[in-house]
Amino acid sequence: MCGIVGYIGEKDSTPIILNGLKRLEYRGYDSAGLAVLDNGQIEIRRDAGKLSQLEALVSDTPIHGKIGIGHTRWATHGEPNARNAHPHIGSTGEFVVVHNGIVENFLALREELSAEGTEFKSETDTETIVHLVEKFFASGSSLEDAVRKTLKHLKGAHGIVVMSSREPDKIVAARVGNAGGVVIGLGEGENFVASDLPAILEHTRRAVFLESHQMAVIGRDRVKLSDIAGNPVTLHVQNIAWDPVAAEKGAYRHFMQKEIHEQVRSLTDTLAGRVDFDEGRVMLNDLNLSTEKARKIKKIIITACGTAAHAGMVGKILIERIARVPVEVAIASEFRYAEPLVDEDTVVLAISQSGETADTLAAMEEGRSRGALLWSNVNAIGSQAMRIADGCIAMQVGPEIGVASTKAFTAPLLDLYLLAVYLADLRRVIDPDQRFGLVNDLMGIPALVGTCLDREEAVLGMARRFKNTRHMLYLGRGINMPIAYEGALKLKEISYIHAEGYPAGEMKHGPIALIDKAMPVVALAPDDPWYDKMISQIEQALARGGEVIALATDGDERIPELTEHILWVPATPWLLSPVVTSIPLQLFAYHIASLLGLDVDQPRNLAKSVTVE
């Protein structure tokens, strides 16, 4: 996950930035860099690899200055080397930029700028930003306005921090969407900027969080906030508690809410370094998979518990449809007692955010003892499930503290999609056009999730309306059936409301008897191949006097005729729709539990890591 730190004041910015980057080290990175203004000149040091390499470089060739910006990177465009590391500098050497997010239209921008004579020094999307800022500055704008104009040209979600020797008394920062936050730390005669609070907490407890579409001009003694259109915005200063855990929570009431909002970033990071959008390729190097081995696989058994098993159910559809490999989903607590049919041409793939779930580890051991190839999709780096596997896809979500899993649910959905495309490529079951199409569909996903998050207020309204219900039924079909299970699990575990997830087609075989006014039905009816079937399920529930909350795609005209309770989601390629449909259901469960005044982050009887059978 990328991290940003910046400083302006009277002290030497280099150690402050390096220390700040160290605080973000737990997020992992593949390269790092910093730029300072040294006697009116921008000086940059960048290197691939761990932060210690950058520290060694800075110690060999020191740079000092009272204003500077730094970055740790996970590659999205261009391999992780020193040239592609941030900060990126413009052609005149007077502007530098660090950036979190993906410039979705960077190819078009790069072509445009190249046609105007700009020479690119890296393969990154970020470099387009610094050239745009430089161009607008050259045509007479202030640094602030040049950044503002640049933002209007960028597609996607971004956190951006810019510095220039032409206006050496400020740092300009901006946030668009949810590709990570931008927080400003206020000091005495000095100010800080970072992507995450821990990077600046040792210096100040007074913080201002930028909302989406806001920007800040940060001077030594003054911070000016505005929206992207240029309208002034009042600074809302928050005093952060000393408790480092509370500090991590930032502007959110609960970790769960924070983690739900972190998904644009976690999904961006999930793609980073693994997807080459230019080549239309996926690389999962840590699976240690040769083409020969990939072609030998006869079956994949995904094993997991709870939320992770729901991700596995989506994965089954993805891998079977895209890579044409048969997949079974085995609940981990059952697997070792089931005499499973496993041999050396079988892969056992365990999904686990903690990597320490006793049942999942036992299922992996069962697979190992029967000769299977073992893979894991794990969030906790160094956990048992990662250590014992032959290959791993590490989730890129950072620590998840809320007991109810949210960002560690959507990340594996993308991981499994990547796996499906990777396997399909190695096994030569898709042609290049299909591969490009599948990879291209990924690019917009973080932004679509951001759109869902921007609609939180509407979900809160729905939560207010239904918070006192005692039972709820969640229905879905096809690729969104597991999302119905997951939506129900989220609700029951944190709100203690009885909720059932059910395959919608099974309703008529029994559960339909339950439907009445006291049993609202959440029906997942996005624009996917099962849409028409879901419409008839909604009609059936309504015919029995049920109240239906429908999840529908923007522009749907049939659903508003059936129900007034609608959670809208943006149009999404259907194989990726579960990533998007999960978001309103997570928010719905969260807000109901929060409105009921419950302990959202630590619900009763549950633990974050279930290390007993």
User: Min. distance of Cβ 557 from ligand F6R in angstroms?
Assistant: 35
Is 100 or 307 the residue whose CB approaches ligand F6R more closely?
A: 307
Shortest separation between residue 259's beta carbon and ligand F6R, angstroms: 11
Which residue lies nearer to ligand F6R by CB, 96 or 330? 330
Structural element, H or E, at residue 153: helix 143-153
Strands 31-38 and 41-48: antiparallel
Instruction: Give one DSSP letter per residue of 540-571, joined into a string.
Output: HHHHTT--EEEEEETT-SSHHHH-SEEEEE--
Residue from 209, 167, 161, 163 nearest 185 by CA: 209
Residue 2 annotated to the active site: yes
Distance between alpha carbon 428 and the CA centroid of its chain, in Å?
29
Question: Is 135 a catalytic site residue?
Answer: no
Asked if residue 497 lies in contact with residue 469, where contact means CB atoms within 8 angstroms, the answer is: yes
Q: Characterize the bridge pairing of strands 471-476 and 521-525.
A: parallel
Paired residues of 569 in beta bridges: 553
Tokens standing for 457? 């207020």
In the complex, minimum distance from the CB of residue 584 to ligand F6R, in angstroms, rounded to a whole number: 16
To ligand F6R, the closest distance from the beta carbon of 498 in angstroms equals 16
Q: Phi and psi at residue 316, in whole multiples of 5°?
A: -55, -50
- Cβ neighbours of residue 148 under 8 Å, at least 6 residues apart? 141, 174, 215, 228, 230
What does the DSSP assignment read for 317-352?
HHIIIII---EEEEEHHHHTTS-----TTEEEEEEE
Task: Kindly give, in sequence order, each residue whose CB lies less than 8 Å from that of residue 291, ignoring residues fewer than 6 positions away.
Answer: 426
User: Least Å distance between CB 102 and ligand F6R?
Assistant: 27
- Give whichever of 362 and 514 is closer to ligand F6R, judged by the CB atom: 362
CB nearer to ligand F6R: give 412 or 570. Answer: 412
Rounded CA-CA distance 33/297 in Å is: 42
433/613 with CB nearer ligand F6R: 613
Minimum CB–partner distance for residue 59 and ligand F6R (Å):
40
Residue least distant from ligand F6R (Cβ):
306
Cβ distance to ligand F6R smaller for residue 307 or 410: 307
In the bound state with ligand F6R, the residue whose beta carbon lies nearer, of 359 and 425, is 359
Shortest approach of ligand F6R to residue 354 CB, angstroms? Answer: 3
Binding site for ligand F6R (CB under 6 A): 305-308, 352-354, 357, 360, 404-405, 489, 493, 609-610
Q: How far is CA 455 from CA 179, 209, 261, 409, 546, in A?
A: 16, 19, 12, 20, 25
Among candidate residues 2, 305, 392, 452, the one labeled active-site is 2
Q: Which two tokens mark 381?
A: 């780096």
Q: What is the DSSP string of 210-242?
A: PPTTEEEEE-SS-EEEEETTS-B-----EEPPS
Which residues does the annotation mark as catalytic? Answer: 2, 608
